Copies of this chain bind each other. A is one copy, B any other.
Amino acid sequence: MRKKIGRIRDVARESGVSIATVSRVMNSNSNVKPETRQRVLEATKRLDYVPNPAARALTTKRTQTIAAIIPTIENSVFAKFVAAIEQAMSKQNYSLVLSVSNADDALELAAAEKLLAMGAEGFILSGRDHGDILINLLRRRQIPFAFTSVFDPTSDVATIGYDNSALAASAIRYLAEKGHSEIVVVHGPLVESDRTVARKVGAISAGHLLNRLGFVETNLSVAGGKTAVLEVLAIQPRATAILCFSDVLALGVYFGLGDAGLHVPKDVSVMGFDNLDWSKEITPALTTINLPARQMGTAVAEQLMRTLEDGTPLVSQELNGTIIERNSVRIIPRQK
């Protein structure tokens, strides 16, 4: 269905050289006499020639394409991450092919097969848990791949991200230091995200600093955060702080709390995760954990491209999340 545009031999004829020379010019490598190059370039312009990517890929066995499969692109920190990957790849003339898995192993596998069949040479996966079939498929085909949004030095697959468990523990610790001893964590579906599970584990590990630590699972959306408030109030009416494993949830919690007539942080403190860009604009500004999404995108992209270029093995890389202290957490005076 596509048109027949100029081929390399047309350019060769037009400029009076062989196709090999045209190829050399197109790949701006080998030695070509400047004036010959010039002539070829002109013919190229004139014929509006662009090398056929399929033919090129067929001979070079390279497609310069890397795939990323993310759980969702909507409403989250993934957009930032993807934008960074895209940018880093563009610089080195690589392309990103994106697919969304909805946190479903089967969909993820299907997506991966499609991407593979498109010629993806490397894969960026989110989180640490993936179907065995997928992992084996990638391994058998010797496709380099990395897990992101997690850092786990013990993993045999390179993980590029942060320590979710430690981050959640530090959030609890932070809250405890501010005098909160009854906290409820609001989080998205555990089955959909090993990062959420890791965070929960981390929170529990710091639970001894508290008198009481509760968990409320909800949909990972503003609406989910909002409805979670009701549950929080029901199960732990005396909680003084709500820790949300995502800023999106925190936004919903703000709304829910507002509707319940509760003031942040006077009545209830709120802390988030992600540091989405509106978090510093809301009143009170949200205390949250900044996740280095951009940096992470750049890091995976660069590692993967490197690996594809010269075989450098992928290595795990820890990126630090940091607590951004703002005004949504109240200091509760010690009341011994």
What are 16 of the A-B contact pairs (CB < 8 Å)? A1-B61, A2-B62, A3-B141, A53-B54, A54-B54, A54-B119, A55-B58, A63-B118, A73-B83, A74-B83, A93-B114, A95-B118, A96-B97, A96-B98, A222-B277, A223-B278
A-B contact sample (11 more), CB < 8 A, given A64-B118, A96-B97: A54-B54, A54-B58, A73-B73, A86-B99, A90-B110, A97-B97, A223-B277, A223-B280, A252-B278, A255-B278, A259-B283
Q: Tell which of B62, B64, B258 touches A283, judged by Cβ atoms closer than 8 Å.
A: B258
Which A residues lie at the B interface, using CB under 8 A?
Answer: 1-3, 5, 48, 50-58, 61-65, 72-75, 79-80, 82-83, 86-87, 90, 93, 95-100, 110-111, 113-119, 121, 137, 140-142, 221-223, 226, 251-252, 255, 258-259, 277-278, 280-283, 308-311
Residues on B with beta carbons closer than 8 Å to the beta carbon of A308: 1
Residues on B with beta carbons closer than 8 Å to the beta carbon of A65: 118
Distance between Cα atoms of A211 and B221 in the complex (Å): 40
Residues on B with beta carbons closer than 8 Å to the beta carbon of A75: 79, 277
Number of copies: 2
Residues on B with beta carbons closer than 8 Å to the beta carbon of A52: 58
Most buried by B among A52, A87, A110, A118: A118
| A142–B3 touching, CB < 8 Å | yes
Q: Report the minimal beta-carbon distance from A102 to chain B, rounded to whole angstroms.
A: 9
Identity of the chain B residue whose Cβ is nearest the Cβ of A61 in the assembled complex: B2
A53 in contact with B118 given A73-B79, A222-B281 (CB within 8 Å): yes
Distance between Cα atoms of A61 and B54 in the complex (Å): 8
Residues on B with beta carbons closer than 8 Å to the beta carbon of A282: 255
Q: Report the minimal beta-carbon distance from A122 to chain B, rounded to whole angstroms.
A: 10
Distance between Cα atoms of A117 and B281 in the complex (Å): 42
Residues on B with beta carbons closer than 8 Å to the beta carbon of A223: 277-278, 280-281
